[in-house]
Amino acid sequence: MRRSVHPIQYALLGLALSVFFLLLLALAEHLGFRLAYVLAALALCSLLGAYLAGAMGTRTSGTASSGLFALLYGLLYLLVTSDDYALLAGALGLFAVLAIAMILTRKINWYQAID
């Protein structure tokens, strides 16, 4: 059974994503940036995974989304901390996201999907 995501659920997810930076800043004042980043990312990925598992009704959805967010926050950490490879990592990350989106949507008839 597929469940739709309600706009309020989207808003809660967006709020959680924005609280990450507040949590990171607060923890970094006391623990240093690296440990604060790891703790904030773990907390956020766990929260989003648990929430989406409940909202979507399957543990698989929560686990998959938590893993995806962990991957994204890992890439973000690489971008933030690497002066020499930030452009390369960002370009490769964007290319990978674009490639995945194109592969997953290649068989959609967009003219029919909109109607």
> Rounded to whole angstroms, what are the CA distances from 27 to 11, 41, 57, 98, 109?
24, 11, 32, 33, 47
**Domain shared by 18 and 53, yes or no:** yes
* pLDDT tens series, the chain, 115 aa: 567 778 898 899 999 999 999 999 999 999 999 999 999 999 999 999 999 988 888 888 889 999 999 998 998 898 888 888 888 888 998 999 999 999 999 888 878 866 5
Domain extent, residue 108, equals 83-115
**Domain shared by 35 and 6, yes or no:** yes
In the three-class reduction of DSSP (H, G, I as helix; E, B as strand; rest coil), residue 104 is classed as helix
**Domain shared by 77 and 88, yes or no:** no
Could you tell me the pTM of the whole model?
A: 0.77
